[in-house]
């Protein structure tokens, strides 16, 4: 028999059209639902700790014939990173050093300090290997209160002999202890450091709507930190921001009258473009890239943010101090591409910028991968741009 073409009357055609429209409507509804969920995750201020890694074994020099205390971890992309990291489990934190041995399924790392993890524990690799405050790095500090638009917020003030200050700003979901890695090197240069908290942090006021605003309002808290330093006699002020902390600094430089006179900026794994970051996060969650656009549109409606203003390549800040931009090459949280682009575009934007890319480490892991290189880069750059008589000697390489 030949093929038979079904014949539908008007009622059948209406049913077919209705089914098609319903399917489209369902698809749109699902997309909006996922976009709303993704937006909610982005704006959520709660911090949920997860422990994806496994401690396989622990050997100590006391009870094993080894040259150093070691911990054996199940091999993963994160446990196999080079350098110095925190190993956090429920109730404890160890500092793990270089990889000493391993095979296809495990890595053996040196235990460099902190507590000894129990074998079998679930753990997480943490970019912050020190707890709980600057005393863990042998630094004298004051817990101070900074007057911010929503109320008083705690900060660590580490005084030093010099007249210049550095204000440090952590990223989304992070905490002040991010700064503990670099504080001793900064203190040794004579810089007084102020490591701030901002709205929705532990001990700081909550945003009125209980949400992150992704830098669109939090930059005002950076301005408060700068005012705190100026009111206490800071001669020159520089800023250092990790991840979304860099986005806060970018918004501050664009919108605040307090940005005038900022001497230098350090961006570590900066969030140069929110939309690119949302696309990366969608890929991480195995979501279609177009849903990142839905999520950004939903987020814009919910908190009023203009994501165009958070693309530093096309909307550089009004104030553009000399900037050291540091990023790692395998960052899966905040993509390195926009940082590379910004560094290449910077001369045409009238933005003095030096770019340092560090190999082999994840998000904000440049210090962890090579502390010596990172500390020399940051302290050398800041010394050059905070020096009262301009550049001289080896510091000239950090010029614009």
| pLDDT band at 34; cut points 50, 70, 90 | confident
Model confidence, pTM: 0.89
pLDDT (average), residues 191-220: 97
pLDDT reading at 5 higher than 90: no
- The per-residue pLDDT for range 284-305, each reduced to its tens digit, is 888 887 888 999 999 999 999 9
Percent of the chain as helix, strand, coil, to the nearest 5:
35, 25, 40
Residues 6 or more apart whose CB falls under 8 angstroms from that of 98 comprise 82, 83, 84, 109, 110
Reported residue count of the chain is 400
Characterize 135-155 residue by residue with b for buried, 16 or more Cβ atoms within 10 angstroms of its Cβ, and e for exposed: ebbebebeeeebebebeebbb
- Per-residue pLDDT, 118: 96
User: 130: alpha, beta or left, given left = phi > 0 and alpha = psi -120 to 50?
Assistant: beta
Residue with the larger pLDDT of the pair 388 and 40: 40
> Which is more confident, 388 or 200?
200
Kind plus residue range of the DSSP H or E element containing 107 = strand 106-114
DSSP calls for 34-99: HHHHHHHHHHB--------EEEEEEE-TTTSS-SS-EEEEE--TTTT-SS-EEEEETTEEEEEEEE
Asked if residue 39 has pLDDT above 50, the reply is yes
Reported for 289-292, long-range contacts at CB under 8 A and 24+ positions apart, including other chains, are 290/31, 291/31, 291/34, 291/35, 291/38, 292/38
Tell me what the mean pLDDT of segment 87-112 comes to. Answer: 97
Q: How confident is the model over 115-142, as a mean pLDDT?
A: 97
What pLDDT band is residue 392 in, cutting at 50, 70 and 90?
Answer: very low
**Cα 5 to chain center, whole Å?**
60
Residue 47: the pLDDT is 82
Query: What whole-number distance in Å separates Cα of residue 377 and Cα of residue 369?
Result: 14
Query: What separation in angstroms does the CA of 82 have from each of 99, 127, 357, 380?
Result: 7, 12, 15, 24
What value does the mean pLDDT take over residues 78-95? 97
CA 9 to chain centre: 61
pLDDT tens readout for residues 157-173: 999 999 999 999 999 98
% of the chain residues with pLDDT over 90: 80
Q: What is the pLDDT of residues 313-363, one digit of tens each?
A: 999 999 999 999 999 999 999 999 999 999 999 999 999 999 999 999 999
In the chain, alpha helices (H): 10-43, 183-188, 219-231, 244-255, 274-284, 290-303, 337-345, 366-369, 371-386
Higher pLDDT, 24 or 91: 91
Distance of CA 29 to the CA centre of its chain: 32
In tens, the pLDDT along 256-278 reads 999 999 999 999 999 999 999 99
In this predicted structure, the answer to whether residue 62 has a pLDDT above a threshold of 70 is no
Return the minimum-mean-pLDDT range out of 19-23, 46-50, 235-239, 369-373: 19-23
């Amino acid at each position: 028999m030949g093929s038979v073409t079904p014949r539908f009357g008007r009622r059948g055609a209406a049913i077919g059209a209705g089914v098609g429209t319903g399917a489209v409507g369902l698809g749109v509804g699902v997309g909006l639902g996922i976009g709303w969920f993704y937006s909610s995750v982005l704006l959520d201020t709660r911090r949920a700790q997860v422990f994806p890694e496994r401690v396989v074994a622990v050997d100590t020099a006391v009870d094993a014939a080894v040259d150093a205390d070691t911990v054996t971890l199940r091999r993963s992309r994160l446990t196999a990173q080079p350098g110095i990291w925190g190993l956090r489990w429920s109730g404890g934190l160890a500092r793990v050093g270089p990889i000493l041995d391993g095979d296809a399924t495990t890595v053996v790392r040196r235990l460099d300090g902190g507590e000894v993890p129990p074998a079998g524990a679930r753990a997480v690799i943490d970019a912050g290997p020190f707890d709980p405050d600057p005393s863990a790095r042998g630094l004298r500090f004051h817990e101070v209160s900074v007057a911010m638009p929503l109320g008083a917020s705690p900060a660590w003030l580490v005084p030093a002999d010099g007249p210049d200050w550095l204000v440090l700003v952590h990223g989304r979901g992070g905490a002040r202890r991010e700064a503990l890695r670099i504080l001793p090197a900064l203190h040794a240069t004579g810089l007084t450091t102020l490591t701030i908290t901002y709205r929705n942090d532990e001990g700081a006021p909550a945003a009125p709507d209980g949400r992150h605003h992704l830098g669109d309002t939090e930059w005002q808290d950076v301005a408060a930190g700068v005012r705190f330093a100026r009111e206490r006699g800071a001669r020159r002020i520089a800023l250092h921001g990790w991840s979304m902390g860099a986005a806060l600094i970018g918004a501050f430089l664009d919108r605040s009258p307090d940005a005038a006179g900022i001497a230098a900026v350090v961006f570590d794994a900066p969030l140069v473009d929110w939309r690119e970051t949302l696309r990366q996060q969608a890929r991480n969650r195995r979501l279609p890239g177009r849903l990142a656009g839905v999520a950004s549109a939903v987020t814009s409606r919910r908190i009023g943010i203009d994501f165009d203003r958070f693309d530093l390549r096309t909307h550089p800040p009004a104030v553009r101090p000399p900037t050291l931009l540091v990023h790692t090459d395998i960052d899966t949280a905040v993509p390195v591409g926009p940082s590379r682009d910004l560094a290449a575009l910077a001369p045409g934007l009238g933005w003095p910028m030096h770019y340092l890319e560090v190999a082999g480490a994840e998000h904000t892991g440049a210090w962890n991968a090579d502390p010596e290189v990172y500390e020399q880069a940051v302290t050398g750059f800041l010394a050059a741009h905070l020096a009262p008589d301009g550049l001289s000697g080896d510091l000239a390489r950090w010029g614009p």
